[in-house]
Amino acid sequence: MAFELPALPYAGDALAGVGMSAETLEFHHGKHHQAYVTALNGFVDKNDALKGKSLDEIVLLSNGKADLAPVFNNAGQHWNHILFWQALSPKGGRIPGALETKIVGDFGSVDAFKEAFKAQAVGQFGSGWAWLVLGSDGKLKVTKSANGSNPLASGEGKALLGLDVWEHSYYIDFRNRRPDYVSNFLDKLANYEFAEAQLKSA
C-alpha cells in the first residue's frame, strides 16, 4: 500500500486571512509534500526491508543510518507535514482551557511559552522544525529539529504542535521574516484545539 498525500483539513484559501496564502498552500502541500510522498514510495518500491512497514516504523528504522538517509529525510518530512497541516486552523490562536492550564504550569505563562517556542523556531539554523512536545516526564517542552527529523526520531516525546521553518513554508507570505511568520503562527494560525487533543490522547 503506497503512502498518499493527505487532503488538507480546510480549503486551500481558508488560511489566507490568518497569514498563509492559497499560493503558499498550493506549493507547500501540492508540490513539496507531494514530492516527499513520491520519493518515499520510490524507496519503498526498491527496498524489501521497507515494504509493509508503517510510516512510524520507517522513520525509526532509517533514523541515524547513513545508507538510509534519503529514506529518513523523506519519511520524516511526510510524518512532519501530516502533523503540520493539522496544527493549522482558520480559527487558530485560541488556547483552550485544559491546554492553557498545562502551559501555564510548565512554562510559567502563555507569553513565556510563546517566547520559548519562538526562540527554538528562529534559532533553528537553516531548514527544520520547531515543536511543542509532551516529554516522558509528563511536562511540556519546546524543541527544534533539523531538516526532516522530528520528536519521534529523537525520542523527545509526543508532538502536540509542529511548525515548519523551511523557507518554502514562509517565503511567499513573509519573505525573509521568519520571526514574523513564527509570531503569526503562535497568535493566529496554531490549532491549539488539535494540540489539546494530542495532549489528552497521550
Q: What are the residues binding Mn ion (CB under 5 A)?
A: 164, 166
Residues 6+ apart with CB under 8 A from 72: 59, 62, 63, 64, 65, 148, 149, 153
Which three three-digit cell numbers place residue 137?
516526564
CB of 169 to Mn ion, least distance (A): 5
CB of 80 to Mn ion, least distance (A): 7
Residue with Cβ nearer Mn ion (29 or 102): 29
Residue with Cβ nearer Mn ion (81 or 118): 81
Sequential DSSP letters for 123-152: HS-SSEEEEEEE-TTS-EEEEEEETT--HH
Orientation of helix 97-107 relative to helix 192-200, angle to 10°: 80
Q: Which residue lies nearest Mn ion, judged by its C-beta? A: 164
Q: How many CA atoms lie within 13 A of 189 on its CB side?
A: 25
Residue with Cβ nearer Mn ion (22 or 110): 22
Alpha-carbon distance 83 to 85, whole Å? Answer: 6
CB of 164 to Mn ion, least distance (A): 4
CB of 136 to Mn ion, least distance (A): 27
Residue with Cβ nearer Mn ion (79 or 166): 166
CB of 149 to Mn ion, least distance (A): 13
CB of 81 to Mn ion, least distance (A): 6
First to last CA, the chain: 28
Query: Does residue 80 come out as left (phi exceeding 0), alpha (psi in the -120 to 50 range) or beta?
Result: alpha
